[in-house]
């Protein structure tokens, strides 16, 4: 029993170590490529900032503390907006996917509508969303959630339908209801697809939040980046891009760690 309880913890620890190593290597390669790219193209240093410039702006300069405070205050708002959209989009996708699998009529009725909505550019939908939901957290949650919802819906539906037919038949043979079959068989089988959707959706939710901040709320790192670029504060702009990129990588890694722990506990045969 003790070994069984420790398995999710060890799986999460292994995943965390792998994620951290991959992150360090990736950041090193990106920094080297970034520096080399600027040198080869000989981009004007007034506009293009190197990793060393960003480091000086955030950590080594005389006003680094104030700069970090500026970037962090905007990043916190963006992370809040993206997190709300990520959770809302994933929960909505999971709920709708369950409804589609349990009631095929619902899928036949609403999936075409969902695909039509998905085909509309989000930039075109943002003014309408702003008119309906306002210019605060609710609007950014809706915009970011839309980015997350549709890919997650397709993946979770596929995951639910990939469950073992024999296992589902066995539950039904012992008198299990559709909900029991869903809970005991289909949901565990869909967990890998759900977490894959969550990982994929992390950068998407951030993009949705940044878009909402650019076009709707006038808050957060998205709006700060817009004003920094138009005001020639390129150090702040590049530092903001680095900050949101690092936040995306960190969130992606955290979802991966949670995935390893949950799947080791509830779907060990799939790992």
271: pLDDT confidence band, cut at 50, 70 and 90?
Answer: very low
What's the domain range around 98? 2-270
pLDDT tens per residue across span 53-96: 899 999 887 888 899 999 999 999 999 999 999 999 999 999 99
pLDDT tens per residue across span 178-229: 788 887 888 888 899 999 999 999 999 999 999 999 988 889 999 999 999 8
The CATH number given to whatever domain includes residue 187 is: 1.10.3720.10
What's the pTM? 0.84
The total number of structural domains in the chain stands at: 1
List all residues 6 or more positions away from 130 whose beta carbon is below 8 Å from its beta carbon: 139, 215, 216
pLDDT tens per residue across span 116-172: 888 888 888 888 999 999 888 999 999 999 999 999 999 999 998 888 788 877 888
For the range 256-260, what are the long-range contacts, defined as Cβ-Cβ under 8 Å and sequence gap of 24 or more?
A: 256/15, 256/19, 256/199, 257/12, 257/15, 257/16, 257/19, 258/12, 258/195, 259/15, 259/192, 259/195, 259/198, 259/199, 260/8, 260/11, 260/12, 260/14, 260/15
């Amino acid at each position: 029993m003790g070994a069984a309880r420790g398995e999710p913890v060890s799986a999460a620890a292994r995943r965390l170590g792998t994620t951290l190593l991959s992150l360090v290597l990736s950041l090193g390669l990106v920094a080297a490529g970034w520096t080399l790219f600027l040198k080869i193209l000989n981009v004007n240093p007034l506009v293009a900032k190197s990793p060393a410039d960003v480091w000086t702006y955030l950590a080594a300069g005389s006003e680094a503390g104030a700069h970090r405070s500026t970037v962090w205050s905007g990043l916190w708002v963006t992370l809040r907006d993206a997190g709300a959209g990520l959770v809302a989009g994933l929960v909505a996708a999971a709920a709708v996917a369950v409804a589609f699998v349990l009631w095929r009529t619902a899928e036949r009725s609403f999936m075409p509508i969902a695909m039509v909505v998905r085909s509309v550019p989000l930039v075109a939908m943002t003014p309408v969303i702003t008119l309906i939901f306002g210019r605060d957290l609710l609007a950014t949650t809706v915009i970011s959630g839309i980015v997350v919802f549709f890919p997650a819906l397709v993946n979770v539906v596929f995951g639910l339908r990939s469950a073992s037919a024999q296992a589902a038949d066995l539950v039904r043979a012992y008198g299990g209801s559709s909900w029991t079959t869903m809970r005991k068989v289909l949901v565990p089988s869909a967990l890998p697809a759900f977490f894959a959707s969550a990982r994929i959706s992390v950068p998407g939710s951030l993009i949705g939040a940044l878009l909402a901040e650019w076009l709707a709320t006038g808050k957060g790192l998205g709006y700060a980046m817009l004003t920094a670029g138009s005001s020639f504060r390129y150090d702040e702009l590049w530092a903001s891009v680095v900050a949101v990129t690092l936040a995306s990588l960190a969130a992606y890694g955290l979802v991966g760690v949670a995935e390893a722990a949950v799947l080791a506990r509830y779907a060990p045969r799939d790992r």
